[in-house]
Structure 1
Amino acid sequence: MLLENKTAVIYGGGGSIGGAIADAFAAEGARVFLAGRTPAKLETVADRIRAAGGQVETAVVDAMDAAAVNDHVDSVVEKTGSVDISINLITLEGIFQPLSDISTPDFVAAIGKALTTQLITTKAAARHMAKQESGVLLFFGGSDPSNASPGMGNVQVGFDAVESLRRQWAAELAPHGVRTVTLLTGGIVDTFPDVPEMEGAKQSIIDASPLKRAATMADVGAVAAFVASERGRSITSTQVNISFGACHG
């Protein structure tokens, strides 16, 4: 198993992408700790992992609360001895409008919240990883400056901001043996609502790929598990493109 004896903390672990990554990590032998604000969603993912024979625990944690996040990570390390993988999948509050139509306070609040939660959760894990001289910090979304599209509002700006944060973490943590990797995505179609008005968006993601394919939640989980494992140990300070070539980070 790729992640046997590894400990992974997943913020937003009750969501679709968080759940898919949790499934993959657990299937590869990791002990998974799901954190989020909605107990029912966390338990749905946890029940699925337990039914498959995986190791999982859940905790209600507000990832905007630095004290709560630090207490949770400390408790994980106390139980397991380490935190080997951390990923924050709390969704950016997207405002899909032209920039000229978005109020400045709304724009700043959404970007600020995304950066705040990423900074809090990464700091909590990095504190332990630096002491361990090992660990993997994963990020999701990524930066694709060649693929700007109108009407995306704050979304790509937010991803770019988080990617800039990831680059700074990479520079500071590499001397401590900590790897930082972003999963660059052009959109995960099976997370979209199954309604007629979303079909065009799904098809545009497929059409943007040279292979005319789009990544699925299972693809995200599989790549995340590989990157976080020792087999992916040469991958750091970069983005891994999981968009079937639609993105050019």
Structure 2
Amino acid sequence: MLLENKTAVIYGGGGTVGGAMAGAFAAEGARVFLVGRTPATLEAAADRIRAAGGQAETAVVDAMDASAVNDHIDAVAEKAGSVDISVNVISQQGIFQPLADISTPDFVAAIGNALATQLITTKAAARHMVDQESGVLLFFGGSDPAHSIPGLGNVQVGMDAIESLRRQWAAELAPHGVRTVTLLSGGIIDSFPDIPEMEAARQGIVNASPFKRAATTADVGRVAAFVASEQGRSIASTQVNISFGACYG
């Protein structure tokens, strides 16, 4: 198993993407800790993992509360003995409008909140990883500077900002043996709400790929597990493109 005896903390673990990552980590032998604010979705994801023979625990924690996040990850480290993988897939508040139509307070708040939760959770994990001289911080979404299209509002700006944060972590943590990797996705179509309004967005993601295909949550989980494993140890301080060629970042 790729992740046997490893400990993974997934913020947003009750969501579609977070749950897929957690399931893939557990299938490869990791003990996973699912964190979020909604007990029902967390437990549903954990139950699926347990039913498949994996190890999963849940905790209701507000990832904007630094004290709560630190208390939780300290408890995980004490219980499991290490913090080997940390990933925050909590979505930012996407405002899909022309920039000219978005109020400054709304724009600033959305980007600020997205950066804040990422900074809080990565700081918490990094403390333990630096002490261990090992660990993997995974990020999701990524930055594609080659493609900009109208109407994305704050969405790509926020992902670009988070990728900049990831690069800074890479510079500071690599000397301590901590890898930072972003999964550059271009959009995961089976994570979208199953409503007619999203069909055009799904098709647009497929059309953007030269293969006319789009990554799924299962693809996300498989790649994340490999990247986080010792077999992926040379993948560091970079993005891994899982967009079927739609993104050029």
Question: Aligned pair 1:160/2:160, yes or no?
Answer: yes
Superposed, 1:43-58 pairs within 5 Å as: 43-58=43-58
TM-superposed deviation, 1:195: 2.2
Distance 2:83 2:133 in 1: 11
Distance 1:33 1:66 in 2: 17
Q: Aligned to 1:183, what secondary structure does the other structure show? A: strand
Q: 1:135 matched to which residue of 2? A: 135
Superposed, 1:68-217 pairs within 5 Å as: 68-217=68-217
After TM superposition, which residue ranges in structure 1, 4 or more long, deviate above 4 angstroms? none
Distance 2:155 2:196 in 1: 23
- In structure 2, stretches of 5+ residues that fail to align are none
What CA deviation, in whole Å up to 9, does each residue of 1:121-151 have, x standing for no partner? 0000000000100000000010001111100
Distance 1:24 1:192 in 2: 20
Letter in 1 for 2:225: A
Q: 1:220 matched to which residue of 2? A: 220
Letter in 1 for 2:79: K
Question: Aligned pair 1:235/2:235, yes or no?
Answer: yes
Question: Pairwise CA RMSD of aligned residues?
Answer: 0.5
Distance 1:14 1:131 in 2: 29
**How many equivalent residue pairs?**
249
Residue identity over aligned pairs, in percent, reads: 82
Distance 1:222 1:126 in 2: 24
TM-superposed deviation, 1:167: 0.2
Q: 2:9 matched to which residue of 1? A: 9
Letter in 2 for 1:184: L
Q: Aligned to 2:245, what secondary structure does the other structure show? A: coil
Q: Aligned to 2:63, what secondary structure does the other structure show? A: coil
Letter in 2 for 1:75: A
TM-superposed deviation, 1:197: 2.2
Distance 1:196 1:155 in 2: 21
Distance 1:178 1:248 in 2: 25
Distance 1:236 1:149 in 2: 29
Q: Aligned to 2:48, what secondary structure does the other structure show? A: helix
TM-superposed deviation, 1:221: 0.2
Q: 1:64 matched to which residue of 2? A: 64
Q: Aligned to 2:117, what secondary structure does the other structure show? A: helix
Letter in 1 for 2:31: R
What CA deviation, in whole Å up to 9, does each residue of 1:103-125 have, x standing for no partner? 00000000000000000000000
Distance 2:135 2:212 in 1: 35
Distance 1:47 1:108 in 2: 37
Distance 1:197 1:114 in 2: 25
Range 198-207 or range 98-107, more displaced: 198-207
Distance 1:241 1:247 in 2: 7
Q: Aligned to 1:162, what secondary structure does the other structure show? A: helix
